[in-house]
Chain A
Amino acid sequence: MDQGRAKATRRRSRWVLGGIVLLLFLTIVMVAYAAPQTQGKRWGKLRGQPIAFSHKTHADKGIDCLYCHSNAPRGQVASIPSVEKCMGCHQVVTPRRRRSQMEVEKIRDAWARHAPLRWEKMFDQPDFVYFSHRPHVQAGLACEDCHGDIGRLDMPKPDYSMTMGYCLDCHQKQAPEKVAKLTDCATCHK
């Protein structure tokens, strides 16, 4: 009987061990799959982005974020600029570097074909969250407060830290008369 119980215990341990190994294996696969997209350095070459666009290049020239993302102070989404807006400068502005010239050519080509550019979304909120840029920008927040130092990066990293806690951290620090509304569930989960 004792022998039988010992056998059964060993068998169970093997199952548990097998499960842990499987879990570890799956985790490694997941991390390996995600790694190139979350830790790479050359963001402009990201699979899915139509143009190796550099925020740093444009911010260094002194272009304000809101010049391109002009919808942020007045709308729900900040908006990606239209091809027409890119062409506003790039019909006359051609970069010096050959590789950059090729990227600008892609915009000119899209404009000539009247074809939209398809950008992969880097910052997102789940569908059950109602978020609008307008009150945040109008409250005086800088883009960098939430989006990080984008102006010093070529392409922003996908940011998964914009969680509810992240929002509430800031909402709770607001003026006392605003806190009740800003921490109310229905403010964001309409």
Chain B
Amino acid sequence: MSKQGITRRQFLQGTALAGAAAVISGCTLSLQKKEYLEPYVDMPEFALPGESVWYATTCRECPAACGIIVRVHQGRAKKVEGNAMHPVNEGKTCARGQAALQALYNPDRLRAPVAQSARGSRQFTSIDWNEALNTLYQLISETDPARIAFFGGDVPDHVLWILETFFAAIGAPPPVIYSTHAAWEGKRALRLVNKSLFGVDRLPVYDLAHADVVFSFSGGFLSTELSPVHYNLAFGRMRGRQDTGGPRGVVVHFEPRLSQTAAPADRWIPIRPGTEGLVALALGRILLDEGWARNTAAAPFFAGVDAKELAEVTDVEYERLRHLAQLFGQAQAPLAIPGSAAAAHRGGYQAVMAVQMLNILMDNLGKPGGLWLAPDTRIDGLTPKTEPASLADVRDLVERMRSGQVDLLLLDGSNPAYGLPPEVGFVDAVANVGKVISFSSFVDETSVWADYILPGHTPLESWGYQVVDNGTDRLVISAQQPVVRPYYDTRDVADVFLFLAQALEPARAQLPWLNVVDFLKSRMEVIRNLGIPGSFALDNVEEAWAYWLGNGGWRSKEPLWSAPVLKRELSQAFNLAPEFEGGTEYPFILYPYESPTLTDGRGANRPWLQELPDPMTTAMWRTWVELNPETAYLLGVQRDDVVKVISPYGEVEAIVYIYPAIHPHVVAMPLGQGHTDYGRYAQGRGANPVQLLGGREVDVVKDLAWLSVRVKIVPTGRRQRLPRLENNAGVDRAREVGFPG
């Protein structure tokens, strides 16, 4: 034992004592830990401190109108879940719905009305609502009504109805409603084809859950199109039938790129872009020739079709097509689903028709697992009479703006400066408009050109309703209610126009309601007058109102979808082939697609959506360009190289992502990034592929033909790591197969 220093035993004793002292002091001190309680200043009725309250409302992140319930704790919205009572989504939600909270809490929200010193200057001065409403009132009352224009996007039905009534009353042209998301999902083509074939202007509903062989043509029905949550549920049911001894549904997906919808399919058939209609034609011809068709009413459409010739054009071998036709033709409940890319080129209208013809050939109209027509959603007093505009209508408005025929432009729910190709000329035309007023909650690429921005509430703070136009067999009027009190000095757009109507004599009689709640309560009678047995009785307004808010809206008891009936003689198909702009110097076809998270760009200011990996590439936060490994090899580029994507209309920069599951002649880019405004999370990040598009329109449909340009790829010599979840080698496993990188 050493005489100097501390022995091991002493050291341990000392440590034990110090430890005991620390524990005792820690225990004593922890009793001193203070907690504070901050009760409400003015407690809302029905609030239960310490316990969450769930409010039923409608998701406004896309037009599908899923029912959601939002958990609210002490006046703060915390979590979005699906409303189990809602026929569209039956308790489920998607990532975009979950991120609705980040619109509410977004730090870049406008917190009060603002005036901009010069358009595009981004120099905003806050004004109060009295001044804002006075300005709006003066502008509307002093402007010649014929020279007022309203441009809207995905505006909820109640606002549209109020706007339409308001503008009709003051003698102004009806609002121009154009949703870029609707253009990307090919909604207009679907409606017009139904109108032409079946005589009704309604969207199709596919009974996916009961189908056993599904042919899907470049569709994103599991990611962004129509009613994705509903179709995901139906897809699960179709597959899940095998658990109860039924047949497992089979899905065959035709698309140039392995998309989110293609990935879970049993077979993915890579085709040349824009040849969906031609594939459908060839399949139909084989079905007829082999005697597998069950209804030959559609036979004239397929007259003169040579399936073998088409097999070459579409890049699918004839034998394979024949085998697929046999699978389809011998199925009990076959179903063909036309997707957005089928409708996105010059011949898109006929291409969608060709796919629907397969349904007619297989005689599945109005049958379990077949094609149905959505319930009629044109209801007097609830939905607007104005048709959604086509790109051609938007061009008319832009032309009026450019030639100085518009003195007052009102904007809500759309971002045309970002979402429309530059060739349409929206931004240039705004310069010739007298005054521009936006109701946007954010300073985006369009509202930055406004003289005044009078911010509306975000959807979780708003009242309203949406009549569901597809994705369910019932008639659903989905209710929207504020789940929290408005956080900032914003105002419901519906309230603004009801307020103005009180001051403007001709509109007062049409819109006598003082606020949006009075208006919504008055709609209970309109729904009652439909005479349709529904989810609750509507005799007593107050009682109905309680159910309306509690259930998240009203729905019919019985299915109201209808079986399509072919209304006309069919003639031979024509003009189905795609046409691409750009000569031989542009070797690749550009295949832009809506990001499953950011969609048409509206999700870019939600960081949850930015950081959510893309389902196919696991990439996030940036814009990438997907190249087949073979294409990348020939171009001499590797993953993470920055390249210029150049079309006849413009150029953007993107990071190379090597993707083996894409046709070698095609390069794909996701939409959603490339914002120059729209808040800190969105702007200055990635590129906007819309810049590469011309303003080409789909025949008959007159909507944006977004699959119609060729591009070339030019390396810049720079590299940038693409943030992604997968490992560095990527799904291509480039090193293993010997390609560079």
Contact = CB atoms under 8 A, between A and B. Distances in A.
Contacts of B43: 82, 84-85
Interface string B18-50: 101100110011011011111111110000111
B3 interface: yes
Contacts of B50: 71, 75-77, 79
Interface stretch (A18-26, A91-99, A140-148): A18-26
Nearest to B32: A34
Given A27-B24, A83-B42, A19 B13 contact: yes
Contacts of B14: 15, 19
B146 to A, nearest CB: 46
B37 A11 contact: no
Contact of A19 (B3, B6, B17, B31): B17
Given A12-B9, A23-B17, A33-B29, 11 more contacts: A8-B1, A8-B3, A19-B14, A71-B50, A79-B39, A82-B40, A83-B40, A116-B41, A119-B37, A119-B39, A121-B34
Interface string B225-262: 00000000000000000000000000000000000000
Contacts of A118: 36-38
Contacts of B529: none
Contacts of A81: 39
A70 to B, nearest CB: 9
Contacts of A30: 24-25, 28-29
A28 to B, nearest CB: 11
A23 B49 contact: no
B138 interface: no
B35 to A, nearest CB: 4
A26 B24 contact: yes
Interface string B352-382: 0000000000000000000000000000000
Contacts of A160: 31
Interface of A: 4, 7-8, 11-12, 15-16, 19-20, 22-23, 26-27, 29-31, 33-34, 37, 48, 71, 74-77, 79-85, 110-111, 114-121, 124, 160
15 contacts: A11-B10, A19-B13, A22-B18, A23-B17, A29-B25, A31-B28, A74-B48, A80-B37, A83-B40, A83-B42, A85-B43, A116-B38, A118-B36, A118-B37, A124-B35
B572 to A, nearest CB: 69
Contacts of A29: 25
A116 B74 CA distance: 13
B518 interface: no
Given A75-B50, A124-B35, A23 B24 contact: yes
Nearest to A79: B49
B41 A115 contact: yes
Contact of B41 (A7, A84, A121): A84
B51 interface: yes
Given A15-B14, A75-B48, A85-B43, A23 B37 contact: no
Contacts of A27: 24-25
A111 B41 contact: yes
Sort chain B's interface into a size bin.
Answer: 20 to 34
B21 A26 contact: yes
Given A4-B3, A15-B14, A116 B31 contact: no
Contacts of A120: 34-37
B2 to A, nearest CB: 9
A148 B3 CA distance: 60
Contacts of A119: 36-39
B180 to A, nearest CB: 41
Given A30-B29, A37-B32, A71 B49 contact: yes
A34 B28 contact: yes
A23 B21 contact: yes
A19 B444 CA distance: 68
A16 B38 contact: no
Contacts of B25: 26-27, 29-30
Interface of B: 1, 3, 6-7, 9-10, 13-14, 17-18, 20-21, 24-25, 28-29, 31-32, 34-43, 48-51
Contacts of B18: 19, 22
A32 to B, nearest CB: 11
Contacts of B21: 19, 22-23, 26
Contacts of A115: 41
Contacts of B40: 82-84, 116
A12 B10 contact: yes
Contacts of A77: 49-50
Contacts of B31: 34, 160
A180 to B, nearest CB: 27
Given A30-B29, A71-B50, A16 B41 contact: no
Contacts of A121: 34-37
A12 B8 CA distance: 11
Contacts of B3: 4, 7-8
Nearest to B7: A8
Nearest to B31: A160
A179 to B, nearest CB: 27
Nearest to A19: B17
B6 to A, nearest CB: 8
B48 A71 contact: yes
Q: Shortest 5 CB-CB distances between A and B: which pairs?
A: A19-B17, A77-B50, A121-B35, A82-B43, A79-B49
Nearest to B11: A15
A116 B32 CA distance: 24
A121 B31 CA distance: 12
A43 to B, nearest CB: 15
A22 to B, nearest CB: 6
A5 B21 CA distance: 29
A75 B34 contact: no
Contacts of B41: 82-84, 110-111, 114-116
A120 B39 CA distance: 11
Contacts of B7: 8
Contacts of A111: 41
Contact of A23 (B20, B34, B39, B42): B20
Contact of A16 (B13, B32, B49, B51): B13
Contact of A48 (B6, B34, B39): B34
A117 B38 contact: yes
Contact of B39 (A7, A37, A80): A80
B48 to A, nearest CB: 5
Nearest to A77: B50
A27 B29 CA distance: 11
A82 B39 contact: yes
A19 to B, nearest CB: 3
B10 A15 contact: yes
A122 to B, nearest CB: 9
Contacts of B37: 80, 118-121
A30 B31 CA distance: 11
Nearest to A24: B21
B293 to A, nearest CB: 61
B29 to A, nearest CB: 7
Contacts of A37: 32
B356 to A, nearest CB: 54
Contacts of B35: 120-121, 124
A76 B51 contact: yes
A76 to B, nearest CB: 4
Residue among B20, B39, B42 with max Cβ neighbours from chain A (10 Å)? B39
With most chain A CB atoms within 10 A of its CB, the pick from B3, B6, B9, B37 is: B37
Nearest to A84: B42
